[in-house]
A and B are shown apart, each in its own frame.
Chain A
Amino acid sequence: NAGVMQNPRHLVRRRGQEARLRCSPMKGHSHVYWYRQLPEEGLKFMVYLQKENIIDESGMPKERFSAEFPKEGPSILRIQQVVRGDSAAYFCASSPQQQETQYFGPGTRLLVL
């Protein structure tokens, strides 16, 4: 069974560009969660999605960040007009149901120059 997949694994962007991070959940999992880990910091929840629905986006910055999980294809976390402070590791996790254990993908390391 393939685990949670994320791509790209590393992404370099210049200030002002857009970053798109993709996450394919484990087979049979319909719940996707995005977390951000800043250097020397813990993981912080960003957004929780099911297919075609945003369930909880209480951890998302109000501007420049958006997420979707379409009916077909991976979940996408989009960061517009990136700034240096967006440099971090972005992890996606998935679970079969809301109350169940979350399994993490390998992460995308975003570096903003």
Chain B
Amino acid sequence: QKEVEQNSGPLSVPEGAIASLNCTYSDRGSQSFFWYRQYSGKSPELIMFIYSNGDKEDGRFTAQLNKASQYVSLLIRDSQPSDSATYLCAVKHYGGSQGNLIFGKGTKLSVKP
């Protein structure tokens, strides 16, 4: 069964620090990797996606992918209280009719002022 694992947290960091969120996945056939942010009571909001090994940067966010280790991470630099939310890691495996995302349960991040 394809699984995506995340530490549930809460992960607490002070304002201005780097927050590091980690995710592992079980299916080596996974080809696309996504990070969504979900505020309490709201819908998931796409932050970043990554397809290739290495780093991908977008503003304060950096996604890192290591397919050999089946590991993907999200770094948030200069964390702000407004970054406090649950961060969902999702993977997609292409093949046949599959188009759905497989989500981890999310890591709750708390940024303290």
Q: Given contacts A41-B105, A42-B105, are A55 and B45 in contact (CB under 8 A)?
A: no
A contact patch SS: strand
Which residues of A line the B interface, CB within 8 A? Answer: 31, 33, 35, 41-45, 48, 55-56, 59, 91, 93, 95, 98-99, 101-107
Bound Cα distance A105, B42 (Å): 9
Chain A-chain B contacts (Cβ-Cβ < 8 Å), number: 58
| Contact assessment for B46 and A45 in the assembled complex, using a CB-CB cutoff below 8 Å | no
Bound Cα distance A93, B102 (Å): 13
| Contact assessment for A103 and B103 in the assembled complex, using a CB-CB cutoff below 8 Å | no
Q: How far is the CB of B83 from chain A (nearest CB, A)?
A: 19
Count B-side interface residues using an 8 Å CB cutoff.
24
| Contact assessment for A56 and B99 in the assembled complex, using a CB-CB cutoff below 8 Å | yes
Which of chain B's residues has its CB closest to A3's CB? Answer: B43
With a CB–CB cut-off of 8 A, which chain A residues contact B94?
98-99
| Contact assessment for B43 and A55 in the assembled complex, using a CB-CB cutoff below 8 Å | no
| Contact assessment for A42 and B99 in the assembled complex, using a CB-CB cutoff below 8 Å | no
User: Does B69 reach chain A (CB closer than 8 Å)?
Assistant: no
